Structure 1
């Protein structure tokens, strides 16, 4: 359920003024019940304050904040207990590596109704389901060709009882049961709605008839971008445990969240982690890098994530470079990782209001990444130059050919541009239109 206030704002009649408390962050959770009335799961909802409704300007940023607060702020055990949490996912985060911070044992991916079906989406959902995730389809209210196309790639279908006439509900339920899908009746607000859903064989139930969302709060952790960037820089050059430990000690808020991350998801250890070094080893550098990226996405300043042109440019550029590197060297994961980080750090000086030379020297980046950004040297430098030209709408193929990267033909570069845009949340079909 995409939980937003229906035309209401903080100043609307009947709603309290927002309780502005920047020292706290919030997460809403609404129970999802089974046929016996027992708690089955929660839907996790974005909340900006103690008032119990949401005003969402950017789905991706709202979800990033919900995930960051659940895992690293309040903690999975406190928010979910032994149950799963349904998390709204838009296309941007669906294609992001960040999604793997959520463990399939604790989270269900609830695909928003704004996500359009295409071949790329089908492949991505297949990957995530093979990784163990359950996928729920949100806000279904009619029999459509798009619903039929999506069914092979989802496990749970949520039917909106406020938008769907009873006759259509019955037809939807019969069709979906025939496909073996779990049926969830959402926005159940009356006893009559519940009785109808129960009679039609729905498996799960959610709505104000049972409970309104509960708002959970935790003190806000102040995470500074420079510290996160230094941490990511260490990870790009495979820094040792001692260096990572020293950097994390300078960022207490990240340490607190890292400890919650490893303790709450357990990583199959069967025990809690009691030291920072143990947490680093148990979590692994890839998960730490994902976590740092999530925190950057979740706190991008005054503008929503996708409305911030600098964030958009850094994200699409880094993804484009990663894909290009993978195309050039399919078996070299380290090269693809270095390309991605080159794209990320190519704009860090803008974030910090400095020069590339000054910023990168302090971050201690791997020499090949630093030289690529400062002097456009090496294969990474060539990829960065190609990404810059492509990002400005220029002819990047001649640049690739001049650099000896003839495999990056115009057709390939066009494909990579579309894929990078999709990763950030732009529909591939729209970009190609």
Structure 2
């Protein structure tokens, strides 16, 4: 899993080169990542500051196609993007790949004959449409439905009695129902009961709450394996440890034979896999497997795995910039990124978990208090994820080689790297 390159190719840090793009996961009933909604961001602060809807969408598309890249922004998943009436009428919409994007139309857009015809034409070209911010049933919504594939219902502003009515009246139309602004466990459970197909909101975007939906997986076995791998280990001892956990062996072999390793030939033997990959590679994947749950979701579809893998890669790339060619520090940075979310996996307080894990002092210090060089780098990673400009500045101030500009581009490079490794 380790990439010999230690830092992405970065352009010169001119202010006008800085680009920002927000994204929020959309998951299915199993919690598997299905899509991202791409959001306009005018700066590193995680807010929209939208003045003109057309300009905002144009910026989102330009940043996705040109600056960030579709792979970095979306991985293998579709992207949802807001479109105004003016944009739908513009030929520029034909530049959007219809197989990669869902066009979101706000509920308040007035549909007339011309717009109905335009939407029908775009649907014939392969586009799917989502109706956004729906809060109650109306004749206008009923008239729009023939041109809509997905209905996004705003749970935050939809009264409970309106929600029941909405779902009941929408069912005969066989539309995909997406619950948006799902911010609590109770809202999620209610939407599940009503039969929603897709979900979006802080309940899913913030990994701390994912623990409530996780099922048992061989996590303690993974911890034992990682402790074994942290020292000099004989191949036979490693093989015996893995054989004691058949489910873990299956996961590791599936990963070995994925395109992420590019071996060009299938590997069926556990010993051969160990010999080909080496203990470092196995250790890296075992760390990420801590975040995979018992539902056998592909790693690329597990929001928490994506989060942990991208953060760990950010840490490794940042360490490569700060301490070039220092392999032990790069490994420590990657491990710090992974284990900084371990409380989510086990549902236990971080201090108690760190006492059990007995990680190397610099890693433990970084996770406990965000102090030390690794701690500052971890703080930068978290600030980039939140789009918190002030926190990015503070974290980078203690790491002179890492400017806010470089940190933002390393964040994009980390997302792209992880998406490419997960592509099947």
For normalisation by structure 2, the TM-score amounts to: 0.45
For normalisation by structure 1, the TM-score amounts to: 0.44
